[in-house]
Amino acid sequence: MSTVQQPDPSDRPARLTVGVVGAGRVGPALAASLQLAGHRPVAVSGVSDASRRRAEAMLPDVPLVPPAEVLQRADLVLLTVPDDALPGLVTGLAETGAVRPGQLLVHTSGRYGAKVLDPALRAGALPLALHPAMTFTGTPVDVQRLAGCSFGVTAPEELRLAAEALVIEMGGEPEWIFEENRPLYHAALALGANHLVTLVAQAMELLRTAGVEAPDRMLGPLLGAALDNALRSGDAALTGPVARGDAGTVAAHVTELRRHAPQAVDGYLAMARATADRALAHGLLKPELAEDLLGVLAHSADGADGGNGTTGTDGTEGNPR
């Protein structure tokens, strides 16, 4: 066993004082994670009562101060505000002289790269874009979830190593994203994560309407397996009536959705068309079956229930696989 004493995190060189502007769900979690790595949170700003309570819970004893004072106190400042508020915040901080030369200024927006920090760069700040690809709850569990979480990293080339080192200190995995690719990168994450929540919530509502007492218990294993298969195999993991070309089943689905959940029809049709296109392109959907299926989807999109002769008048059909 090694007898070499490991240094305490607080004794490491280049430990930074950390400030947070915007105590939403993300900022306090990242600051708490940096604290575990030996950095020292010294100031946080928040506007709403909820953000103030969150900051007090996750960063106890760290004073709540105005944004300009956060920048005065901290070597590393996390700008964790909504995307649309970020450009105005950066401009305002730079114009009021709050930004200090040599200060690390980090934003966590997925949409923007480092260029949104140009006003601060001109004031001498060091701009970094570090976006955690994770959903946050605003509770201490978020710090644990950062372990192994990928971060979309964008920064000037000379700051790339520093940016990646901060991500690693938070337990994350840095993934370099070029400035021009940030909107596409963020769109991909929103499509996968945000829309997934909507799909799952709609599926749970429909199962309750169908009489299922525990839709979460029913969906959990199914969706977990589907996600695992999709991540492992991509389009080869496609299953279900659309991928099989079961036009009658899809028509029955549309009939029942129009009857019980008309607000879900447009989303169902859009995803069914996208699934059909991918299944057809990857040879999973036979062309001779695709024609009937796409006809049902087109007919349903026009506001009528589709059908191909296999669906009964009550919207059911003989093989509801």
CA distance 312 to 296: 15
What are the tens digits of pLDDT across the range 78-123?
999 999 999 999 999 999 999 999 999 999 999 999 999 999 999 9
What are the tens digits of pLDDT across the range 186-198?
999 999 999 999 9
Q: Retrieve residue 107's tokens.
A: 């934003």
Strand residue runs (E) in 71-222:
76-79, 104-107, 126-132, 150-154, 173-176
> What's residue 80's pLDDT?
96
Distant-in-sequence, close-in-space partners of 24: CB < 8 Å, separation ≥ 6? 51, 54, 80, 81, 82, 138
pTM of the predicted model as reported, rounded to 2 decimal places:
0.83
* Torsion of Cα atoms, 183 then 189 then 190 then 193, to 10°: -170
What are the tens digits of pLDDT across the range 245-280?
999 999 999 999 999 999 999 999 999 999 999 999
